[in-house]
Amino acid sequence: MGECCHCGECCRWIVFGDARQLDPWALGYFVARGAKINKGLVLIPSECPHLKLNEFNPSESLCDIEDNKPGACKEYVGKRISGGRKYWVPDNCTMTKK
C-alpha cells in the first residue's frame, strides 16, 4: 500500500450512488449542478470543512480532526473494498500505488 500524498481529492466529493440507477433526466440535473461521473459513480462536489488545503504545497494539506475523523475516513486505505465497505478511489490516489 502506498503513502497518502495529501492531495485531498477523497475529501472533496460525496458519493451519491450508482450512475446506472439514475434516469438521464436526473443525471443531467446533477451534472449541471457540478456532479461528476467517475467509475460509474455519481460524485457530488462537497469539500469537507475539515480539509485544510495548502494549494502551494499539497503535501501539507491536512485533516484538522485527524485523530477524531469519522470511521469512514479511517477505514479508507486506497482500496475499493475496505473494512467490508465499498469506497470510491480517486484516479490520482497515491495510496493505490505499491
Contact residues toward ligand SF4 (CB under 6 A) are 4-11, 48, 50-51, 63, 65, 69-70, 73, 78, 90, 93-95
Instruction: State which residue, 9 or 22, has the beta carbon closest to ligand SF4.
Output: 9
Strands 81-82 and 62-63: unpaired
Closest distance of CB 84 from ligand SF4, Å: 19
Element (H, E) at 52: strand 51-52
Q: How many CB atoms lie within 10 A of CB 60?
A: 11
Instruction: State which residue, 22 or 79, has the beta carbon closest to ligand SF4.
Output: 79
C-alpha to C-alpha distance for 38 and 91, rounded to whole angstroms: 9
Closest distance of CB 74 from ligand SF4, Å: 8
**Contact call for residues 48 and 8 (beta carbons, < 8 A):** no
Instruction: State which residue, 9 or 27, has the beta carbon closest to ligand SF4.
Output: 9
